[in-house]
Each structure stands twice: as C-alpha cells, then as structure tokens.
Amino acid sequence: MKWIFPMLLVLAFAGFLVGQSPGTASAHLTDTPFARDGTAVDAWLPPSLHMKNTGGSDGAGLCVFTSLEMAAMSNNIRQLFGFQKFMTRRPGGGWPAKVNDMIARYCQEQSVKPPVFFHVEANDLGILKQALKSGRAVGITYSYSPTGRYRGQRIAHMVYLAAAGAGQGPDGKGWYCCVDNNFPGSFEWMDERTFLSVASGGSRLWAVIFANPTYPPAPTL
Amino acid sequence: MFPAIALILMCQTPTQGWHWEKHCDGRSCYYVKVKDTAPSQVMPNVTPPAVAPQRLPELLTVPPAPVVSPLPIERQYFFGVDRSKLPDRDKYAVGDVEVTRDVLSGTFQGDSPSLLPADSGKPHLTLFGRDESTRKQLETMIASADAAELREAYRVQVYDASHKVDREMTMAATLEKDKRFLDSGKVAVLQAPSATGQGKVWGALFAWQDAKELVSAVPKFDPNFKLPDKTRDSLRTLEASQVIVTLAVLVFLTCVVQSIFSNRNGARKS
C-alpha cells in the first residue's frame, strides 16, 4: 500500500515524458503550424494538403517533385497541380536541370505557361527569408532530421519550407520550419544554425522558389 | 492492417539495385527503398568518416555553417535528391538562366516586376468564381488592359471556389452560404495587406459587368481611397460656381423684397 503513491508519481512522470513531443531546445515537432512558443509558419499549407512522398517508375523517390507540388498548392500555381502524379510515370530522383525540364514538359503537356521559379544553390539564408517574407513557397534540401527521425541518419531529401527566420527562435534569429513529405501532417521546427546544417548537409543547400504569391490571409471583419 | 501492408511491401520484388528497409522513428515505422550498396555502407550507424570539413563560401547574411562533414552520397538514404548533380559552386538561377546573387535578391525587392512584383505590402484583391470556367473568365478579365490599374494597386489573385485546394486555403467554403455569391457566381474581396492588416476585409463586390466597372468600384472600398486630383479640382470648381450663383440669387431676392416693401411704404405715405 505504501508503494502506491511513489508508483503513481513515477507513472505520472513517465506520462509527462511520453507526452512531450520529441526534440531538443533547438528543434522540435508540432502537429499544428505553430512552434512551441506560438510562432506561426510563414507559408501556410494545411495538414490536409500535405502530400506523401512516393516513387517514380524506377522506384527512386519523388521528394523533389512532391515538395514542389506542395509549394505549388501553397502558392496557387495551378499549372503544377498533379505534378507528382505526372512524375510517377517517369524515373525518380531530382536535381536542378531535371526540375527545369520536367516543369517545362508538364506545362507543355497541359498547354499552359510554365511558372516563374528560381534556384538557389548556395548557403544563403537571406534569400530564403526574403522569399518567405514576401509570401513565396520554397522547396529545400534536407540531409538529416534534428528531431531524431530516420534514426538520425543522413538522407538525400527535399522538403517544403514553411518558415525561415520566423519569430524569435531559441537564439533570437527566428525559427525555421520544414514539412517532411515522408511525415505529412507534422511540422519540424529548428533554429537557424541547425537548419543550415540540415539543409546544406555539410556542403551547400539547394532551394527552389516560386514567384507566385501565396494565398490571401484569412478574412477578418 | 500495418503488418499486412508491411508483408505486401516485403514480398514485392524490388527493382534491381534497390531493396526495402524498415525504418522507425519512435512514432511510426515505414519502409523505404534504398539503393543497394556494400553492407557496411547501407546503414550509416557508424560515425561519419573523418573527412576534412569543406570550406563554405563567404556568406552574405548568415554566419558560417556549423561543421557537418559531407557524407559520401552512396551512404545517404535516397528519397529523391541527387546530390551528385548539384553544382560544386554557389549558383543562382531564374529557371535555367544563371543570374548573380544581387540580381536574385533585387528581384525579391521589386527590381524585376515582370518576374516578381513587389506586392507584399499591397492590399489583397481576391476574385472567386463558382467553378473553373468562371475562374478562367475572371482570370482573363483581370489580365486585360482595362484591369491594369487593379494589377498595379493590389495583389490580385483568382480562385475557383469549388476546387479542393482553394477551399482549404481560402474563404471559398464560406461563400457557398452567401446568397449574393450563389446568384452572381463571382465575388471580388478587398483585404488589407497581410503584414499590417491581419486580413481585415475592406469590402466585397458581387456583381459587375466588365473590368472597367470593377476598376471604378473596388478602390472605393479602400479606407485610404482618395479621389484623383483631376476629379477633386472639377468638384472644387463646381462648388465655387454654386456658391457664386447662390449669392447672386440671394442678392437678387433681397433687392426684389426691398423694392416691394419700399413700394408699399410709398403707397401708404401717399
């Protein structure tokens, strides 16, 4: 009988630990588009529109094209709706020249004008911040999960960047938020230093930015 | 359910050169297709090799990147980015046209309106059509020369209220309940800029004939809307002339009344 109280305490503590979302002070996961401190994402895309990564005709991943279709949805680029499905009939894997080629082909197939987009292949967070602040969506390379996904291992991946330098962040430089197409429905937040390491993978990051502006804000009266 | 899916995945014959691997992150497990490599290279549980950290280029806006040793490409889980085809130098491009960093940065600051208009501080003018064909009609209208003023003054966007993405991303779903929208099949909503206005709606228009009518009607919703100088001048002239005419009429009436009274007084005296 005298063990009941200590056991309850231990169970409560264990429950508290389990209830915490995985992460550290510099990185954490949320199920909503808000960081732990309440900072909101810059480029809103509701979890119901998050897409799951899939494979191309050779089984290789389509993370690049999945991220770009998510960015297209976020920025009303109607020419690229259905882009991932189009790519499932072609070999997977993505790099800048292939992105140019596939966007041109997909738009040609639909007889529509291709969207304007930019490539950044440099560790230049200033451009990413400018893009997000002006309401442009970004697909960005991602080399490991700072919250422990993929067992901390190195990956060759692209994700949707939902925030760059938003709010204060743990270091005063703002939060960065990635939406991983292998884990749709969740938001991975990290500080600037961690993000640069994640996106560059030790060399240099690659980002694709669309010129179309994002959706209007939710109406208020 | 999950074991069944896992079994199906495991039973699939992977493409030559690839194999399935189970992957758990503490929340869920899934299978990924991984390029075949030597066993020691497949699972990089080992500490990354002691490769000298690559010197990063001079950054313009951020401090140097933390030291993360680049891992050989064949040791990375492949989800779709082929890093071997990324350039080994800093590169900025508009589509397939390489540009300098300054050009791209300037583009985000409004130096190239044809590529990327500097519209982040502009109020939002959002047009909804009831279906895709109405959306296309609205898009054609807003792209016409008659609507150039609107494109210049506002961040103009056109949506289809019946499309899944537009319904999730905008107020489209609530429009179904508005009789005026159901009747006309279209609406133009003017909202304050995102950065300062927190989405405040300034006004909405449910019926207009053409772009010219929209151009003349929409700006009046804007709380900062002022009449153009030319119109204001003409109003001022009109007001002045009205005042002169009114004064003249008053003077004339006074004279008439005075003459009537003086005639009456003259008649009484006589």
Complex ipTM, two decimals? 0.85
**Structure tokens belonging to residue A124:** 């230049």
**Confidence grade of residue B22 (pLDDT, cut at 50, 70, 90):** low
What does the pLDDT read at residue B170? 83
Looking at chain B from residue 141 to 200, which residues have their Cβ under 8 Å from any Cβ of chain A?
155, 157, 159, 165-166, 168-171, 189, 191, 194, 197-200
pLDDT of residue B202: 87
Which of A22, A126, A156 lies at the smallest CB-CB distance from B26? Answer: A22
Residue A17 to residue A179: CA distance in whole angstroms? 24
**B-chain residue closest to A154, CA distance:** B76
Measure the CA–CA gap between B93 and A118, rounded to whole angstroms.
6
Lowest average pLDDT, out of A60-69, B1-10, B174-183, goes to B1-10
**What pLDDT was estimated at residue B231?**
39
Half-sphere exposure of B118 (CA within 13 A, CB side): 9
At residue B119, the pLDDT reads 77
| Residue A119 contacts residue A140 (beta carbons within 8 Å) | no
Give the 3-state secondary structure of residue B155.
Answer: strand
Question: Please, are residues A92 and A59 in contact by the beta-carbon 8 Å criterion?
Answer: yes
Work out the minimum CA distance from A152 to partner chain B, whole angstroms. 9
SS3 B149: helix
**Closest-CA distance of chain B to residue A126, Å:** 6
- Percent of chain A whose predicted confidence (pLDDT) is above 70: 88
**Which SS3 state, helix, strand or coil, does residue B82 take?**
coil
- Look-up of token digits 């680029």: A77
The predicted pLDDT at position A166 comes to 93
Burial class from Cβ neighbours inside 10 Å (0-12, 13-18, 19+) for residue A36 reads middle
Highest mean pLDDT: which of A101-115, B102-116, B165-179? A101-115
Q: Which of A116-130, B21-35, B101-115, B246-260 has the lowest mean pLDDT?
A: B21-35
Give the full edge-to-edge strand order of the sheet including B155-160: B155-160, B124-129, B186-191, B201-205
Report helix angle A63-74 to A96-110, nearest 10.
Answer: 60
Average pLDDT over residues B33-55: 38
Q: Is B115 within 8 Å of chain A by CB?
A: yes
Mean pLDDT lowest among A174-178, A197-201, B128-132, B231-235: B231-235
Residue A200 has pLDDT above 70, yes or no: yes
Cα gap A181→A50, rounded to integer Å: 7
Residue B35 in this model has a pLDDT that exceeds 60: no
Q: Measure the CA–CA gap between B250 and A7, rounded to whole angstroms.
A: 99
User: Which pairing describes strands A117-121 and B91-94: parallel, antiparallel, or unpaired?
Assistant: antiparallel
Q: Tokens 């060759």 appear where?
A: A156
Q: Which of B18, B29, B60, B81 to mutate to test the interface with A (most CBs of A within 10 A)?
A: B81
**CA atoms within a 13 Å half-sphere pointing along the CA-CB vector of B136:** 5
Are the beta carbons of A200 and B73 separated by less than 8 Å? no
Cα–Cα dist A132/A111, whole Å = 29
Let me know: does A170 contact A36? Beta carbons within 8 Å: no
Calculate how close chain B gets to A195, using CA atoms only, in Å.
9
